Amino acid sequence: MSADTLATSESKDRKYIIYLIIIALLGWSLASYDSNLLTLTMPAIAKDLHLSATDLGALEFIVFGAEVIVALFVGWGMDRAGRKNMWMICLAVAGIFTGLTFFVQNFWQLALVRAIASAFAFAELAVSVTLVNEQVPAKRRGFLYSIVQGGWPIGVFLASGLYLLVGSFGWRVVYVFGVIPLLLVAIGRWKVRESDRYVHIKALRAAVKGGDRGEVERLQAQRPVKVEDLKQGSVRQLFSTAGPVRSALTRLTVTWLLYAISFVATNVFIAYWLTQVKGWTASEAAVLLLVCGGIGFFFYVFGGLLGEKFGRRNVMLVSGCLVGPLNLLILIVSDHTWVAIVFFCIYQATNGTWSGAGYSYQAECFPTRVRGTAVGWMGAMMVGGQLIGSAIWTGMTATTSLIITWIVIAVIIGFAQGISTFFLPNIKPGQELEAIVD
């Protein structure tokens, strides 16, 4: 291959990586936008549809239950039907049902529409983690994917901004604006390539199944894979085979469950909690989330950069250990300015630096042959933890105060999250995925 040909190839790859990152960033931004619309419109929806705090908890419980099911389905589908196909499905379904939110008239209609919209929007995360991390260069994997994860605060920023702009026309109008961009990004994904690593595993599976030993050896020479494990299926490999993969999955599951339970208080019900406990107005809470989201993008990228230098597990460890103390501090302070400052720190620890490093870390913990299923499982654990947190929130708000509820979910479980990160495997950054795990 000539120098000119090589340079052209590298230029095309660079342009494609930029395109991939932009499309993934936009997709995750709009998925976040859809999710955060529910957080911001909760007070208005509750008033319009006559919903109590317990009803809102039940709504989140139903939504999170749907997200668990869809995340598991999408994870399994990635290893069977391909990463790109599942990516297309997720955003298209989310866009359609976001628009249908405009028409709901009662609790059960709201629960059904939002369960489907939110479930497929959130499943975007698992596909993005898998497909993007499999295609970007190893030396910049954490940094590049942290840009994609930065789409979450951009979505918060967009949702908060739109709520402030058109919220006066009613909460239904807010949801209409989410349809067109979601569908446009879904269309833009036609040009996204399927992951080379998935194509390789798919071809290897076919060669093993067909008994083509020569093709198996050729593919093995390209990327080493445990051929005997391919015969088990991704689910059996994850849960039935003892070893580093199952060990990593177990430890990550515990950490992400604790993280997600605490996340319910600090990110899902935060607008409602601020208005009821701290005396804020809905508009003040929206402005706070707007500021946190706008600046938060840079904390995601900062977390990715720190992960490249110090290791992603170590960034998660520091972020996780800050959650409990900060959640206790915001309960103690009463001045509006101090509440805003402390919550800003909470937001960056539970979103920016944690996610900026954490999701590339997930992709690195699992081999390609089971990565889709494993990351889908982790997505289910995220929403499963939120499901548990929502159930605790619903039960406690019905029987005790919001302050006691905060202490249990945000403070105690927040401390437990930090402790659990000490037990996660420490992975040296910059390695090829095949060099990390068998």
Q: Give the mean model confidence (pLDDT) for residues 72-96.
A: 87
Q: Does the pLDDT of residue 138 top 60, yes or no? A: yes
Residue 229 has a pLDDT of 65
Q: CA–CA distance from 258 to each of 285, 297, 319, 331 (Å)?
A: 25, 24, 13, 20
Residue 418 has a pLDDT of 96
Residue 1 has a pLDDT of 42
Q: At what angle do helices 107-135 and 353-364 cross, to 10 degrees?
A: 60
- 21's enclosing H/E stretch is helix 3-49
pTM of the model: 0.80
Q: Give the mean model confidence (pLDDT) for residues 246-260.
A: 93
Q: Does the pLDDT of residue 249 top 80, yes or no? A: yes
Q: Does the pLDDT of residue 70 top 90, yes or no? A: yes
Q: Does the pLDDT of residue 5 top 60, yes or no? A: no
Nearest-angstrom CA–CA distance, 221 and 171 = 56
Higher pLDDT pick, 217 / 180: 217
Q: What is the CATH number of domain 3-436?
A: 1.20.1250.20
Q: Give the mean model confidence (pLDDT) for residues 155-165.
A: 79
Residue 165 has a pLDDT of 82
Q: Give the mean model confidence (pLDDT) for residues 152-158.
A: 78
**Residue 195 DSSP class:** P
If pLDDT is split at 50, 70 and 90, which confidence band does 240 have?
A: low
pLDDT in tens, 169-197: 888 888 887 676 766 777 777 888 888 88
Residue 170 has a pLDDT of 82
Q: Does the pLDDT of residue 285 top 80, yes or no? A: yes
Range with top average pLDDT, 244-248, 370-374, 378-382? 378-382
Q: Does the pLDDT of residue 231 top 70, yes or no? A: no
Mean pLDDT of the chain: 85
For the chain, percent of residues with pLDDT exceeding 90: 33
Nearest-angstrom CA–CA distance, 264 and 414 = 11
- 338's enclosing H/E stretch is helix 336-347
Higher pLDDT pick, 81 / 10: 81
Nearest-angstrom CA–CA distance, 97 and 92 = 9
Residue 9 has a pLDDT of 41
Tokens of 154: 């951009």
If pLDDT is split at 50, 70 and 90, which confidence band does 154 have?
A: confident
Least confident of 110-124, 170-184, 269-283, 396-410: 170-184
If pLDDT is split at 50, 70 and 90, which confidence band does 261 have?
A: very high
Nearest-angstrom CA–CA distance, 430 and 438 = 17
Least confident of 57-71, 176-190, 258-272: 176-190
Q: Would you say 366 and 248 are in contact if contact means Cβ atoms under 8 Å apart?
A: yes
Domain ranges of the chain: 3-436
Q: Does the pLDDT of residue 438 top 60, yes or no? A: no
Residue 234 has a pLDDT of 61
